[in-house]
Each structure stands twice: as structure tokens, then as C-alpha cells.
Structure 1
Amino acid sequence: MATTTGRTSPAMSMKLLVDAKAGRVLFAEAGKDVVDFLFSLLALPVGTAVRLLGRRSVPGSASDLYASVQRLDAAAYLLPGADIGALLRPAVPSSIPLLCLPGPQPRPRLRPPRAQLRDGRERSCPTCAKPMTKKMYWARSDSGGSGQAAVSAATGRAKGFVQGVVTYTVTDNLTVTPMSAISSISLLNTFLVRDLSALQEKILRIGYKEGLAILKASLQSKTVLTDVFLAHKAPRPAA
């Protein structure tokens, strides 16, 4: 079973051009956020892909390799200090917030009533000797997202990979190019579209669920957008 996040993921949207007769997506019109997400999939560690999608959903042998690491007796076979978490739980790059997994749970701290918080394990406060009964939580100062945003704000540089003033064309097999009227007409000719009345526009939102589906389909299919966004895939006419 795929891993789920415990928080709301940022949603994106893009416009699909669908050939209703053929039951396929011809191409999509997408902005910077969608293209940055698609490009960022290339930086996703294999171990994270297995963890996100679930072992049974990953084609090939990567899932079996992942299971091998899980079953290995760490005490007997791993080098001292080897970071097994880097293999089983590699971090999602900060450029893919849509697929971010929950981080480690914060460690609880106890504090006494009306006493200064102390980072210790005593059951009583070393200052006032009163029982430490209330749980407090702290987060590491170097933990992810907000730091990235601050760096971006400090440097004045936009995050991601592509310019935000351009609209991009994304084809069914995830080929990405800058969009223009000429390129759109060329694509229609490539797909041998003759009946323009059969073309439909659909504006779709991409959240965590759709992001996982795109990741999975990109590893298995050349018709990613059709597979993910069309509920019933009509049979293609013979060439």
C-alpha cells in the first residue's frame, strides 16, 4: 500500500485537450508549477518511489531490492554507522512539495508547571523539583520547507527549474516544450485530427493522489495523461 501524507498537499491545475472519439489526451497546457513537478520526478530517489507507490506498484526489480534491505539483519551484516534510513526512507527533494512524506515525529519534552523548559529526561524539574508532567514538542531548526522558502526570499531567486512567464505543452508521454500556436497546430497534424468537433478541453487539478498516479504511470506507460486522467480509455483505431 502506498504511503500517504498527513497533511494537505499543494494543488496545481492544467488544461487537457482531449480527443473524445479516440479516448485519448492529445496534449496539456501547463504552467511552471506543473512542469517543475514533472522535471523534479527525475530527481526522486528510487527508494522513495518504492515507498510512495508501494512495493507491489513498482515495476521491475526495484521493489524486491527494497525488500531485501528491509529483511537484512542490520546487526549481523551492516557496517557500523551505516545509514539504512538513507536507503529505505530517502528524503523527497524540496522541489517536489506535492509528494512530500511526513518527517520524523517530534520528540516530546516534559516541563513542570510555571517552570522554565529544560531539555532533560528527569521526571522532576532540576530547578524547582516539581513533577514534569506536561508534554512539549520541538522541531529542528534545519527541518525542511520553511528554511527553503527563507533562502529563496533572501536571495530573490525563484524556486524550481523553468520560467514562470511561459506556458508549456505537455504531451501524453510527458514531452515538455514551450507552447505556441504553431506548435499546437503541428501537434494536431501529428495526431491526424480531422474532426475538430471531437476535441474537448478539461481543466484538472493535480493533488497528492494525482501526483502519485503520474509518477506510477511515468514508470510504466507512454500514455501517462490518458491513463491518469481519462476514467475510461477507449480503444485506439488501428493505424
Structure 2
Amino acid sequence: MSSESDDASAPEWGSEDEDDYDELAAQGAAAATLAAGLSIKLVIDTKTQNVRFAEAGSDVVEFLTGLLSLPLGTVVDLLTKEHMVGSIGNVLGSVEKMDAGYKGKERRLSPAVGPAALSRLQQLLSAHLSNGRTCHCTSSTYNAVAAGTSTTPSLPTATYTVGDDLSFAQFGGEDLSALQEKTVKIVKEEALRILAASLKSKTVLTDVFLKSQE
């Protein structure tokens, strides 16, 4: 039987300790996913050496839909202003040079990224979104990522066809007998390439997974 003194000496966990533990757990989960990547099976036309379409799970589709939730300022920072098509990079460069008297400077340089977008993007781009200037992350955000939850419902577990132009629909059981299959992984480098290519190309999967290897 435990004495009162034993009970008094037992450590008490406060909310801050629990938040720290949850944050570490979330970072560990994000690191594991970052290392493993998201699997996607390319279906390649061997005559044209283009991706006809790809087979992907709901995790890949969640990653693609999460791109829609990224603020433009975050996109520019992720890809770096030097690699942006057009002139939006110049806007970021100008804001960076403005003095502290510009009230909107901090908010423009550090746009908030919502938990719905972070659920998959955080795992793939954690170094940019959690440690850089581009995300106002809280312990509750990390908790949501660790638990695989977000402010919007997750897609049902299913297989999807993803077009070379990133259009997608549930898999319809296409005949693949005349085509070549190749399974690849989306990790941080590929995620950034997909983001960049999605802004300027209609053949994203071909550009990222085939042409980049030539």
C-alpha cells in the first residue's frame, strides 16, 4: 500500500509538459513520414515517355488538395523568389526591404498555414513549415498533425487516378496491360517540385518524375 508521502513525491504532469510531449511526438511522426514518403504508381506510355496517369492513395490526394490552402507568400518562400515565374517574387523582395514601420510586414512575411493544409504538407515539408518563418504553428497544430486530424474531414481510404495535369478521380480499373508501371516516392524534394510544376505545367508528373531524371 502506498503511503501519503509516496503520493506526494509522485511527479505531476502539467499542461506545458503534455504539450511538449505531444509536440515531440508530432515531430517524430512527421520525420518518419518525411523519410518514408508518399507512394504513387506511375503508368507510363513507353512510346511517348509521358505519364498517362498515376495510381495513388488518399494520402497523396490530401497532399495535392492541401496545396490549395497554402498562402501565396508561403509558396514564394518555399520555392524561393528567384525561382518564381512572373513578378510575385519581386513583391516579396520589396517587403523584405521595408522598414519596421510598415505594419503589415511581419504578417506578410509570416502568413499563417492552417492545420487542414498541414496534415500532409507538414509531414513532407516540415523543415520549411515548422522551423522557418512561413508558419505560425501552435502545439494544437502539432497535435492535429500527430493524430492525423484536421479542420476538414479526411478523404476516405481509396485508390485514385491522378492525371499528368494533377486532375484526379477514384480509380476506375483501367487496363494497364500495354503500359509500363513504375512506383515512386514523394518526399520533400519531389513535393517542392510538384508545387513548382503545378504553377506552370500541364504535365506535372512527367516533368517531376521522368524529365527531371534525364
Specify if TM > 0.5: yes
What residue number does 2:156 align with? 163
Give how far 1:49 is off.
Answer: 0.6
Instruction: Report what 1:28 is aligned to.
Output: 54
Match of 2:4 in 1: none
Structure 1: segments with no counterpart, 5+ residues: 1-6, 106-139, 189-195, 235-239
Q: Which amino acid aligns with 1:231?
A: K
Q: Is contact 2:66-2:118 (8 Å) kept?
A: no
Cα 1:232–1:74 shift into 2, 3 Å: closer
Q: Specify the code of the residue in structure 1 equivalent to 2:93.
A: A
Distance 2:60 2:207 in 1: 17
Larger Rg: 1
Q: Distance in 2 between matches of 1:167 and 1:43?
A: 23
Residue 142 (1) aligns with residue 139 (2) = yes
- Residue 219 of structure 1: how far off its partner (Å): 0.3
Residue 176 (structure 1) aligns with: 168
Identity among equivalent positions (%) equals 41
Give the structure-2-normalised TM-score.
0.70
Partner in structure 1 of residue 38 of structure 2: 12
Alignment coverage as a number of residue pairs: 172
Runs of 4+ residues over 3 Å off in structure 1: 102-105, 147-152, 157-161, 231-234
Q: Give the aligned partner of residue 125 of structure 1.
A: none
Partners of 2:41 and 2:184 within 8 A in 1: yes
Contact 1:51–1:89 under 8 Å retained in 2: no
Q: Secondary structure at the match of 2:211?
A: coil
3-state secondary structure, aligned to 2:184 = strand
Q: Which of 124, 130, 136 is matched with 1:103 structurally?
A: 130
Q: In the alignment, which residue of structure 1 is the partner of 2:182?
A: 202
Q: Which has the higher helix share?
A: 2
**Where does structure 2 lack aligned partners over 5 or more consecutive residues?**
1-29
The superposition leaves residues 104-124 of structure 1 with CA deviations (integer Å, 9 ceiling, x where unpaired) of 59xxxxxxxxxxxxxxxxxxx
CA shift, 1:207, in A, is 0.3
Deviation, 1:89, is 2.5
